[in-house]
Structure 1
Amino acid sequence: MRRKGLSAVAVTVAGALLLAACSSDGSEGNASEEPDTSGGDAPNELTFMFRGGEYDKLAYETAIAAFEEETGAEVNMIITDADQYATKLQAAIAGNQVPDVFYIESGRMQGYVYANVLADLSEYVDQATIDNVWEFGTTAYRFDKESGEMGTGALYGLPKDVGPFGFGYNTVMFEEAGIEPPSPTEPLTFDEFVDIAKQLTQDTDGDGELDQWGTGLNVTWNSQAFIWGAGADWISEDNKTVTVDTPEFAEALQWFADLGLVEGVTPSAEQAQTLDTYQRWMAGEIGFFPVAPWDIATYNDVAANNPEVFGYDVIPYPVANEGDDWSTWLGSLGIAVSENSKNKELAAQLATFLSTNLEAQKILAENKVQIPNLIDYATGEWIETDAEATGWPANSQAFLDIAMEKGRPLPGTWTYTPEWYDNFWIGIENVVDNGSQTAADFVAAKQPEMQMLLDQSWVSAEQAKAAG
């Protein structure tokens, strides 16, 4: 048995279609200054536009070569880094040069649909194939134009991946401190987490300054799991009511802020500016830190070059109390087909190949780009192969647990626009960095602002539906 250890693009229609992408490491690859993104004209030509770094580029070059050999197609790959992807895709859409196949994000897919940018892939993908893909990975790209409901209806994309945002710890640091490794299956409580973090926070060279910390978490991307682990949430089940002003939410947010403000187990805001916590984690200065599939290749390189300070594995996220259920966010990038592609059937075949073909999935997993989309492969051969042979963490079962049951979409995913959710982070530094505002006061003031924006989002959805 194997012993083993997802970046948001948003789309809206407001006069023109606007796309905003989160940043991540990457290189522009073979993208030109102004790439020709228009779809292929010949019967066997396609254009595939995507984003990523060198690991992604190498993996997709191999996968695309396999598709070309199998089908006789010619695929023009256009790769950009995450920061440039949004602008270039927006320009392609505005200029009516939409690629045949391209990445989308589920969070505001509705705008694409109402603007008639996306092809309905339902007729091109059989049900047996869909049933063997993580449910979140297909549900995220379904949309019912009539009801305006996400997660149901026509299939407007296939998952490039599902991205379980896992949690990790530095195995070397734990061993040197003589601390027993956390359970690979049972979450620590908040109190247990703080206790261990305090033990890891040290002045290792005796100069009177801390140079090792228990953790160092970014509130915007790392607090969700802790809020959920306390039984709180940003939004109601029907996605109509903002729920940040509950006692459970305020207490969890204050606990998160107090990791630095009171417990002192994180680098200060000034120290984080000198060297961010992501770099400190890889330098062996941070005990607990997020670990996601897109990090694996980088982390492996660091562990191979600096084994004396860095090694890692994956564990559940902490919860407020013993017996509480843990969860974290599960993201996804999608692969879509242009409604106006001159080779729509072949384009759908490419999207399906990249998302669901076993050979392609093996290529992507072996290159540490993602966990496999195929359930039978992921839960069988992939997880059962010894971790040392694959380079994945020993407890990578945690990634599968997130994909199967522990993962949640980010709060703004199922609403027409995410501005209501984005508004939450405006002024959050007053709670977590300088402590000038309590979490309770902050969420009390935020709720009406966010509710107004959420209400506006539903109005916009109705307007777009009527216009479409």
Structure 2
Amino acid sequence: MKSKSKFAGMIMLLLMFALSACSGGGSGPNGGASSNNPDSSAPSNEAAAGTDKKEPVTIEFMGHGNPNEKKIFEKLIASFEEKYPHVTVKYTSVPPGEYSQKMTTLISSGKVPDVFYVGGPEFYRFAEAGTLLNIQSYLDQTTLFKPDNVWKQAMDRYRFDGSKVGTGDLYGLPKDVGPWAFVYNKDLFDQAGVAYPSATAGEWTWDDMLEAAKKLTVDNNGDGKPEQYGVGAYSLESAVWANGGEYIDYDTGTVKVNEPAFYEAMQFVADLNLKHKVSPNQEAEQAMNAYTRFINGQLAMFAMGPWDQPAFWELPFNWDIAAWPASPNTGQTATWLGSMGFAVSAKSKHPQEAFDLAAFLSLDEQGQRENYQLGQAVPNLIDMAEGEFMEMDKGPQTRQVFLDIIQDYGRPDVIAFSKDTQWMDAFNQNASKVWNGDMSAKDFTAEIQPKMQELYDKGNK
């Protein structure tokens, strides 16, 4: 799941992210029942893969990502086809920005791939509409799945009980669980004589970060356009959650952006540029986004997910990750924990082979090992994540931060449990009033909250 052009944490990640995707049938959790449904066609045990002579099968798999991710999945698919020699996988990777529309077109034309990426609101919509195969019975019979050895935080994203996400049977498997970490350029810190951020949550606060950012912002000619910034793309979610705020209370469906804990955090993020000048403004961001600044060595502190590792391994400077700065008001830190999933089409003509591919990519030890070694993700398998993944001789050095986020202070992105996102779209589309200094965060959130509430009620209740 992963956009690089987020402005100072103000563009909701997810982005999907962002962020930050899709739907399924009116017959309940087992919608789309047919001869291919696991309730009417008992799944076979994948342990027999490669041992019996089987008829050749071709399945289609569609995902999205950058060229590096495409290369990684081509390697993983080759390993799958070696393990399951009767299966040929036709793999398509589309640009992230085109994926949602492509899936919508394929669904409407009845040409859904056998296996495809799904996450967040799209998972909710697709599961509800019957587009996704209920894979619970397949999962119950596979030897790959050991419930105590897979991150619950990831698996629960793909449960659906017929009315809400997070409980019930599984309609997908995690492609990954994506801890959004705080990354910094160690060389720039060394040159400025600034101590590194702490990898321990709560030890480094907004105040510490701001003090460091001021020392790490360099404007050699004094023209007000720094050649080097202290921090960029600061996560608004992280600031809000760390400060005790919430975008919404999903239990009651109440939008809460107009509360002090929220708007004070939003103002802090805006002031990184407006007041302190340590972060690029929108004009500077449009000229060169924060991701490019960081890899060019012109930004001291940024954000990264595990999927960024391959590119970061090639950087000509030293870097590492730290815990997101804690709010001095609460002493707490937080960040978002993304995830994208693999789903199987309810109309697949080869549901067992489609499930086998999803399970290999999500749960198979060989597949997970290749995945993390290629720098794609933190392993979904807990023992592997806590064992050999931690022993890698490549950055980040403090990779325990990834696991801390998964286990302790990572949270699903805001729209993960919302099937209609127009309420958040309204926030993001108008937040520039704060980022540009046209309105205070307090005034803006008071103005936008009723509109967000109306849109949420219309699309989700």
Band the TM-score falls in, shorter-chain normalisation: 0.7 to 0.9
Deviations 1:119-178 (A, max 9, x none): 001011139523321112110011111xx1210011100011111111111101000011
Q: Is 1:55 aligned to 2:62, yes or no?
A: no
Instruction: Name 2:426's counterpart in structure 1.
Output: 423
Identity of aligned residues (%): 36
Instruction: Name 1:86's counterpart in structure 2.
Output: 100
CA apart distance, 1:288: 1.0
Aligned AA (2:380): N
Q: TM-score, normalised by structure 2?
A: 0.85
CA apart distance, 1:12: 5.8
3-state SS in 1 of match to 2:254: coil
Q: Is 1:70 aligned to 2:70, yes or no?
A: no
Number of aligned residue pairs: give it.
Answer: 411
Distance in 1 (alpha carbons) for counterparts of 2:306 and 2:252: 29
Alignment check: 8 A CA contact 1:143 1:152 kept: yes
Correspondence list, 1:64-463, <5 A: 64-72=77-85, 73-126=87-140, 128-145=145-162, 148-187=163-202, 188-204=204-220, 210-217=226-233, 222-238=235-251, 240-301=253-314, 303=315, 306-307=316-317, 311-321=318-328, 324-383=331-390, 385-386=391-392, 389=393, 391-433=394-436, 435-459=437-461
Correspondence list, 1:40-51, <5 A: 44-51=57-64
Distance in 2 (alpha carbons) for counterparts of 1:74 and 1:279: 38
Distance in 1 (alpha carbons) for counterparts of 2:88 and 2:24: 32
User: Which sections of structure 1, spanning at least 5 residues, go unmatched?
Assistant: 1-5, 15-41, 460-468
Distance in 2 (alpha carbons) for counterparts of 1:285 and 1:93: 43
- In the superposition, relative to structure 1, how do residues 208 and 120 fare at CA in structure 2: closer, same or farther (>3 Å)? closer
- In the superposition, relative to structure 1, how do residues 454 and 290 fare at CA in structure 2: closer, same or farther (>3 Å)? same
Distance in 1 (alpha carbons) for counterparts of 2:424 and 2:74: 36
- In the superposition, relative to structure 1, how do residues 323 and 89 fare at CA in structure 2: closer, same or farther (>3 Å)? closer
Aligned AA (1:166): A
Alignment check: 8 A CA contact 1:228 1:326 kept: yes
Alignment check: 8 A CA contact 1:49 1:99 kept: yes
CA apart distance, 1:205: 6.3
CA apart distance, 1:343: 0.8
Alignment check: 8 A CA contact 2:134 2:170 kept: yes
Alignment check: 8 A CA contact 1:314 1:396 kept: yes
Distance in 2 (alpha carbons) for counterparts of 1:111 and 1:281: 36
Aligned AA (1:406): Y
Instruction: Name 2:6's counterpart in structure 1.
Output: none
Distance in 1 (alpha carbons) for counterparts of 2:107 and 2:224: 57
- In the superposition, relative to structure 1, how do residues 47 and 282 fare at CA in structure 2: closer, same or farther (>3 Å)? same
CA apart distance, 1:203: 2.5
- In the superposition, relative to structure 1, how do residues 239 and 65 fare at CA in structure 2: closer, same or farther (>3 Å)? farther
Alignment check: 8 A CA contact 1:104 1:333 kept: yes
- In the superposition, relative to structure 1, how do residues 290 and 324 fare at CA in structure 2: closer, same or farther (>3 Å)? same
Distance in 2 (alpha carbons) for counterparts of 1:438 and 1:9: 26
CA apart distance, 1:115: 2.3
Cα RMSD over matched residues?
Answer: 2.0
CA apart distance, 1:250: 1.2
Aligned AA (2:137): E
3-state SS in 2 of match to 1:395: coil
Which of these residues, 2, 21, 24, is aligned with residue 10 of structure 1?
Answer: 21
Alignment check: 8 A CA contact 2:180 2:305 kept: yes
Aligned AA (1:167): F
Distance in 2 (alpha carbons) for counterparts of 1:180 and 1:443: 36
Alignment check: 8 A CA contact 1:112 1:118 kept: yes
Distance in 1 (alpha carbons) for counterparts of 2:223 and 2:120: 49
Deviations 1:356-390 (A, max 9, x none): 0011011111111111111110011211x14xx3x
- In the superposition, relative to structure 1, how do residues 340 and 323 fare at CA in structure 2: closer, same or farther (>3 Å)? same
Deviations 1:19-52 (A, max 9, x none): xxxxxxxxxxxxxxxxxxxxxxx75221111112
3-state SS in 1 of match to 2:395: coil
User: Which sections of structure 2, spanning at least 5 residues, go unmatched?
Assistant: 1-16, 26-54
Instruction: Name 2:8's counterpart in structure 1.
Output: none
3-state SS in 2 of match to 1:11: coil
CA apart distance, 1:208: 7.5
- In the superposition, relative to structure 1, how do residues 204 and 9 fare at CA in structure 2: closer, same or farther (>3 Å)? closer
Alignment check: 8 A CA contact 1:8 1:105 kept: no
3-state SS in 2 of match to 1:330: strand
CA apart distance, 1:190: 1.5
Deviations 1:65-123 (A, max 9, x none): 22212222111111222123223222221111111111111333232123221100101
Identify the range of structure 1 (123-132 vs 133-142) with the bigger mean alpha-carbon deviation: 123-132
- In the superposition, relative to structure 1, how do residues 210 and 114 fare at CA in structure 2: closer, same or farther (>3 Å)? closer
Distance in 2 (alpha carbons) for counterparts of 1:208 and 1:418: 37
Distance in 1 (alpha carbons) for counterparts of 2:242 and 2:103: 37
- In the superposition, relative to structure 1, how do residues 43 and 337 fare at CA in structure 2: closer, same or farther (>3 Å)? farther
Instruction: Name 1:32's counterpart in structure 2.
Output: none
Distance in 2 (alpha carbons) for counterparts of 1:269 and 1:71: 50
Identify the range of structure 1 (444-453 vs 321-330) with the bigger mean alpha-carbon deviation: 321-330
